[in-house]
Amino acid sequence: MKRRDCIKLAKLASNNNRVALIESLRGIASDGDACKVNSWAYHAKRLADWLGDDMADAAPFTIFARGNSKLPFYAFSALPFVTCPGMGACAKFCYSLRAWRYPAAFFRQLQNLLLIKQAPDDKRFNQTNLIADAFRKLPVAATLRLYVDGDIDSGDTLGFWFKLLRERGDVQAYGYSKSWHVFLKYHADNGPASFPSNYRLNLSSGSRYGDDVAKRMQSLPCVRGAFVAVPSTVKQLKNGSNWREYAASVRRSALATGHGRVFVCPGKCGTCTKRGHACGLASFTGKTIAIGIH
């Protein structure tokens, strides 16, 4: 499916236009072979059936995806762009759009966006029953990355996640965000004590906000530090054989772009330190972590 068609669906979901969304999904299903497993038509029909049946059954896609070799943690994602009010230069290199090549990944993000966007009193889309129930079933002491794709789109969304994290203090959650105004307003309205101690926030580069807002963010109790993407003249190989050259390139670029000394992200979460992943470690508070873009 073409990207413009994906964006059309994303906007319908973001605007909570369920009737038009179902119609569009039905159209995708009828244009292809809905019996062909893992095709666009197949997954479009699954989601349309679920929406049209008032969500009588469980969500068609896993809400919290299990980890893989690159991200060995549980993860939650929603559609990018339409959930990214703080988006700036990052739109030019957003890696999340690559996942749209895969129907199941796109429709999982779409489903999760619908669950987050629904009003609390809409029992058919009651996120407390669906997302919260799935969250409560996470294993004890699970590590959770909130938003591999997409971002915190509102104060209501942030408050919802913080409530769940306070309920499950054993879950160690972390994330990256450019929705800095959402966090600052939440802090102003609720105070520092309302931030759960088991959530670490990395300030993602490419935000539309300037250094003054970034400095205000650094004072929030949940913030670990900055996570920046910098140009690299060396593309890291998957087997890691050119790690020294790649890391040196990232460090040079970070210095040249005003980030100072940085800790270089190896690209595979959980492999960066013996104590755990740096993005979720309190001992890395205040340090800048950098990754290369090529």
Q: Give the domain ranges of the chain.
A: 3-221
pLDDT in tens, 219-258: 999 999 999 999 999 999 988 899 999 999 999 999 999 9
pTM to 2 decimal places: 0.90
Q: What is the pLDDT of residue 125?
A: 46
How far apart (Å, rounded) are the C-alpha atoms in residues 97 and 258?
28
Q: Which of 179, 194, 193, 118 is nearest to 146 (CA)?
A: 179
DSSP state, 41?
A: H
How far apart (Å, rounded) are the C-alpha atoms in residues 165 and 168?
5
Q: Which of 138-152, 191-205, 253-267, 268-282 has the lowest mean pLDDT?
A: 268-282
Mean pLDDT of 206-212: 89
Q: What is the pLDDT of residue 120?
A: 46
Average pLDDT, the chain: 90
Express as a percent the part of the chain with pLDDT over 70: 94
Q: Which of 97-101, 118-122, 250-254, 267-271 has the lowest mean pLDDT?
A: 118-122
How far apart (Å, rounded) are the C-alpha atoms in residues 277 and 283?
11
Q: What is the pLDDT of residue 269?
A: 87
Amino acid identity for residue 147 in this structure: Y
Neighbours of 194 (CB within 10 A): 14
